[in-house]
Amino acid sequence: MIKLCILICLICAVIGFSIDKKVYSPIGIYSIWFFFLSFGANLLLFNLYQIDQIVYTYIAIAVMFFLIGGIIAKVNIYSIGRQKDIFNKNIFWIYLFIITVIYAPTLFRTIKVLFQGKSLTYIYSLTTLSQQGIKTEITKTGIEEVLDSYVLMPLMNLMIPLSIVLFFKEKKLNKLFIALWLLFIRLITSGTRSCILLFGEYILLNIVFIYENRKVQIFLRQRPEYKKYIKLLILLAVPFVILISILTKQRGISNFVESLYYYYPGALGIFNQKLKQYNNLEITHSFGILSMMGFINPIVSFFQHLGIEPGNLFEKTLSLYHSLQNDPVYISDSWKGNVLVTNVYYFYVDGGIEGVIIGSIVYGYISENIYKKLNLKKSIKNMTLFSFFLCHILMMSHARMQISLMHIALSFVYMIPLFAVKIKYT
């Protein structure tokens, strides 16, 4: 089944890239991503434990039905319409003001710790301890925690790709500086490396948007100063790579290749171990609650404040959700991991094999629909939505179903005030 899974992923990738004819085809990227993950996991490098055949079976099913969902969206002429997008600049500046002002106390505390000679890795460890309920020198107050979860992180996730899109659209350096400022805030207050990687992905994707246009050479000859912007963006890659390398070494990771292997193909190993744990629990499926936790949790919290408690199904699902974060499992004799169970695990918990099929169809349909809107019109909204969805959700499918995270799910909600959309179906 392992070889068949790898072959199915490769075939689906070829089909996806062929029908979309773009390097950023959602079907193509999703399929080729799981091709590399499955191929790498099958090698069992660095003493990775053997992965059960059933894991590869579920992945093959997920990729096939993701393709089917994408094809349904592609042939559905009513899935999108002609759009008129109005970008509200006032909301943009309000969001930026909110992030800068409310993040100020946290930023002050972390900078104070850094001035004491501590590293960003130390900040990262303090952030992890704070998330576990342990008080540290950068622990947020209760109000700050609420604002961070419900407002700041969702806005941060949205504003970085939006600022980068605006930079390429308007060709004004102030939007790039805003994106870098937001990246700085995120990096300093969390110490995480993933924000740097995401920033680079957003930059690369927008460069692809430019160079896929056949008129780009004419445009560059007419606007030679734009070449300077492209060179500037390429130069940003150098400090980013250096910074990631430094942070990696500070965390005690001596073998960078091994770390990458466990982080990406190793996700299938965590999926395998967590799947065994889940099957041993013999609890009912979550019927979509696990995958949609990012949207459902705020609603449940609101009703809890009104004295209305959720049902037993939600409580069990929430407990399972927290166990993914807090209960690491060994995937080799020397390495244990958590969280990274792939989106396929979430679909399985939602509804078993049927959940994998239905969840993958819906996932593929939504992905292709967002892609179709982008191809119909490369507006600020469509470019921001696609950039965020591709980089922050689709390309993180090796980790989880990303909208299970509240700060990612709510980013879509905060996008609504930014744009006024009129849709006419044809």
Report whether pLDDT(423) > 50.
Answer: no
Q: What is the mean pLDDT of the chain?
A: 85
* Residue with the larger pLDDT of the pair 365 and 301: 365
* Residue with the larger pLDDT of the pair 187 and 47: 47
- Predicted local confidence at residue 366, as pLDDT: 95
How confident is the model over 263-322, as pLDDT tens digits?
Answer: 999 999 999 999 999 988 767 789 999 999 999 999 998 888 888 888 888 998 998 998
Percentage with pLDDT > 90 across the chain: 51
- Predicted local confidence at residue 403, as pLDDT: 95
Name the packing angle between helices 342-376 and 266-281 (round to 10°).
120
State the pLDDT confidence band at 422, using cuts at 50, 70 and 90.
very low
State the pLDDT confidence band at 36, using cuts at 50, 70 and 90.
very high
- Predicted local confidence at residue 123, as pLDDT: 74
Average pLDDT over residues 85-112: 88
- Please check whether residue 48 is in contact with residue 63, taking contact to mean a CB–CB distance below 8 angstroms: no
State the pLDDT confidence band at 80, using cuts at 50, 70 and 90.
low
Q: What is the DSSP letter of 49?
A: P
Q: What is the DSSP letter of 339?
A: S
* Residue with the larger pLDDT of the pair 172 and 368: 368
Q: What is the DSSP letter of 413?
A: H
Q: Torsion over CA of 149, 155, 157 and 163, rounded to 10 degrees?
A: -170
- Predicted local confidence at residue 426, as pLDDT: 39
Report whether pLDDT(136) > 80.
Answer: no
Stated length of the chain: 426
Distance (Å) of CA 6 to CA 25, 37, 330, 354: 19, 9, 24, 21
* Residue with the larger pLDDT of the pair 224 and 280: 280
State the pLDDT confidence band at 105, using cuts at 50, 70 and 90.
confident
Report whether pLDDT(132) > 70.
Answer: no
Report whether pLDDT(61) > 90.
Answer: yes
- Predicted local confidence at residue 192, as pLDDT: 73
For the chain, the C-alpha Rg in angstroms (whole number) is 22
- Predicted local confidence at residue 245, as pLDDT: 65
- Predicted local confidence at residue 60, as pLDDT: 97
Q: What is the DSSP letter of 330?
A: E
Distance (Å) of CA 349 to CA 99, 218, 265, 282, 372: 35, 52, 21, 11, 30
- Predicted local confidence at residue 425, as pLDDT: 41
- Please check whether residue 74 is in contact with residue 81, taking contact to mean a CB–CB distance below 8 angstroms: no
Report whether pLDDT(420) > 60.
Answer: yes
SS3 337: strand
Phi, psi of 211 (to 5 degrees): -80, -10
